[in-house]
Amino acid sequence: MPASSRVYILKFTVGILDTNMYIVYDEGSRDSILVDPGGDPSEGLEWVRRLSLELRAVLATHGHFDHVAGLPSLRGLGVPSYIHRDDLEVVGVSAGWYSRYLGEEMEVPNFDVLLDGDTELRFGSLELRVLHTPGHSPGSIAIYIPEAGALLSGDTIFAGTVGRVDLPGGSEEELARSIRKIYERVPLDVVVYPGHGPQTTLRRELRANPFVEDALKAGNSKLSPSH
């Protein structure tokens, strides 16, 4: 990516659980991606239009309905959709939860590309490093964008807390391992854009998040709140 390019992130709160939907775009090339369409994505698409962006892909950090419910409405755009393979079953199960809670059917989205493990993706000028971060769900991912100094953490790490592990497929042990992976592979000062709530940084969570502290201690991490 040219040194002059600048990557920005727009946040939109969507859906019944106030999910953070993000648009990531390169100001120079106008390449963009949309992450976690958990509700009506129309406001985000309006900004794609206003900024003359080229939408290259739609990614879900995991398969719970509050992160994918709006995806069927994007079908007509003709852009590929991505999710980790291990959350494909979660999508169908979670759609059932949506139907029970709201008393209406949710269309189960289809995905064009199933991710495996950790991987690197490129969409035009946008370069992403995808980390498989199971724990909240089997196929949860976090998306590190070096050029933006940003980590889209899904429901793995939040400001002051971490993702719940009491839903089907959740695992406290795997979540702790995923947190350690993030801290091993991502710089401390990146801005964390979580699936819900305000943004934070890995450094701030190292100092103020007891769940992160416990996960790092369990893995004998050399990191400490003094870093």
Full strand arrangement of the beta sheet holding 150-154? 119-123, 126-132, 141-145, 150-154, 191-194, 200-201
pLDDT of residue 223: 64
Return the half-sphere exposure (C-beta side, CA atoms, 13 A cut-off) of residue 60: 34
Task: Answer for the pair 114, 130: CB distance below 8 angstroms, yes or no.
Answer: no
Q: Is the pLDDT of residue 20 over 70?
A: yes
Q: Which two tokens stand for residue 7?
A: 């990557």
Is residue 5 very low, low, confident or very high in pLDDT (cuts 50, 70, 90)? low
The whole-chain average pLDDT of the chain stands at: 94
Q: Which two tokens stand for residue 141?
A: 């991912």
Report CA torsion sign: 62, 138, 220, 147. Answer: negative
145 — phi, psi (to 5°)? -120, 95
Average pLDDT over residues 119-148: 98
- C-alpha 218/C-alpha 15 separation (Å) is 35
Task: Answer for the pair 140, 134: CB distance below 8 angstroms, yes or no.
Answer: yes
Q: What is the pLDDT of residues 80-109, one digit of tens each?
A: 999 999 999 999 999 999 988 888 899 999
Question: 13 exposed, middle or buried (CB, 10 Å; 0-12, 13-18, 19+)?
Answer: middle
**What CATH fold (topology level) applies to the domain 7-218?**
Metallo-beta-lactamase; Chain A (3.60.15)
Q: What is the pLDDT of residues 188-225, one digit of tens each?
A: 999 999 999 999 999 999 999 999 999 999 977 766 55
Per domain, the residue ranges of the chain are 7-218
Q: What is the pLDDT of residues 144-155, one digit of tens each?
A: 999 999 999 999
State which amino acid sits at residue 57: A
pLDDT of residue 3: 42
Average pLDDT over residues 56-69: 98
Average pLDDT over residues 104-117: 95
